[in-house]
Every structure is written in C-alpha cells, then in structure tokens.
Amino acid sequence: MSERVPPLLRKILNADIKITKKFVVLANNFLPLKSLRVHYKALEISCHGIPWFAFWIAFTWFFNNTSLVQLQVNMLIGLFLDIVLIALTKAFFRRRRPTSNKDDALGQIGPDVFSFPSGHASRAAMVAFVFINLYPLPIFCIPPLLAWTTSICISRVLMLRHHLLDVAAGVLLGILEGVILSIIWLEQSTAVSLMSYISDEKLDGGEFHV
C-alpha cells in the first residue's frame, strides 16, 4: 500500500502524523482541554451517524408538525448525503486510523474503519451550516452550536480517532455538503408533499389509513 503512495503525499501524511502527536501532547497539558476528557465518549455518540439517523427519523415521525417538516426532510437528505460521501471518500483513500486508536467506536464497520476524512467532523460542520445558514436558529443558540462543533472536532484528535488532516478535511467536506444542500434545499410545500406521501399510512385521511 505504501509503495503506491506518491512521495509528496507520503511526506504530507508523515508530517500530519507528527504534528498530530505534538498537538495531542500539548492539548493534554492545556487545562481547559483536559476537561474535555470526561466528555469524549458523550461527544462521540452525540455526533455519530447511527444515533443521528435514529433520532432524526424518530423526531420526524413523532413530531409531525407542518412548521418543522421542511427542516426534518432537508436534514434527512443532508444526513444521507453525508454518510454516502464519507463512505465513498474513506473507501477511496483507505487511510489507517492512528496507531494508538482503540477499536471501541460505535458501529465501526465497512469504510468507517478508515480515518480520512472524519465523519464526525463533516457531520458536525454540516449540521452547523444548516442551523446557521439554511434554517437559522435564534442567535443565542449559535455559540453553543459552535462550541459543540468545535468540541467534536478537537475530541476526534484527542481521542486518537483521527489525525488533524482527517478532521480538517471532514470540516471542509461538511461545509461542501451544506453548500450542496443549499442548492437542493426543498421548499416548504415540496417537503410537506413529500412527507405526506411517505407517511400516508399514519396520517388521518391518508389513502391507507385504517
């Protein structure tokens, strides 16, 4: 595998490994970042694809409110887009995770065993993009959202799940996903029609309602 890596790229990857190790050592000696340790696992779960999909499907199903449908449908599209792009990118690059990584992550199967790019970082960036640009939250919600996104990205490195370059690429991919989502963003009427079609069996008056 290493023989097929171009020399310049190999140098970049080796430098990334060294810089990541130095960053982890420095961060672990920095008091504010030490407090993140007890939250690593919670942060990991809070941005994992499986819980996000499960939560969002449940949220969409049980909170069948017309005012929320546009967000619900478009976010589902965004989550699906994120998983597809991450899976394809990881399968293509096949970069190994840091050697110190513990193989105890939730649902680490298929392409997810690879490191580049970080799916957590891309998902966090995409979610932040949506709630800042496409479906803006109240201004007082933005600082906690950005704090969560930043904590997710930093924790991926400090947990030794990823190298710095993996996380940076994940953030850029998440922003790209947000841009794509802004282009294909469904209008309220379209989202309502789509949701009505999908959930016809459970809606009063639906064609198959019993």
Give tens-digit pLDDT for 25-83: 888 777 566 666 667 888 888 898 888 989 998 888 888 778 889 999 999 999 999 99
Determine the Cα–Cα distance for residues 45 and 106; give it in Å rounded to an integer: 8
pLDDT at 76: 93
* 48: annotated active-site residue: no
* 120: annotated active-site residue: yes
User: Could you report how far apart the first and last alpha carbons of the chain are, in Å?
Assistant: 58
DSSP-H helix ranges across 94-199 = 119-129, 142-158, 164-184, 188-198
pLDDT at 36: 63
Considering only residues 99 and 146, tell me which one the structure prediction assigns the higher pLDDT: 146
Which run of H or of E encompasses 52?
A: helix 49-62
pLDDT at 103: 60
Asked if residue 95 has pLDDT above 80, the reply is: yes
Q: Model pTM?
A: 0.84
Choosing from 48, 120, 163, 209, the catalytic residue is 120
Q: What percent of the chain has pLDDT over 90?
A: 49
Question: pLDDT, tens digit, for every residue of 110-129?
Answer: 567 888 999 999 999 999 99
Q: How far is CA 162 from the centre of its chain?
A: 14
What mean pLDDT is predicted for residues 171-195? 92
**What's the mean pLDDT when you consider all of the chain?**
84
Determine the Cα–Cα distance for residues 96 and 47; give it in Å rounded to an integer: 21
Considering only residues 101 and 22, tell me which one the structure prediction assigns the higher pLDDT: 22
Q: Are 132 and 174 in contact (CB under 8 A)?
A: no
Choosing from 39, 162, 163, 209, the catalytic residue is 162
- Please state which of the ranges 9-18, 121-130, 167-176, 189-198 shows the lowest mean pLDDT: 189-198
Helix axes 142-158, 119-129, angle to 10 degrees: 170
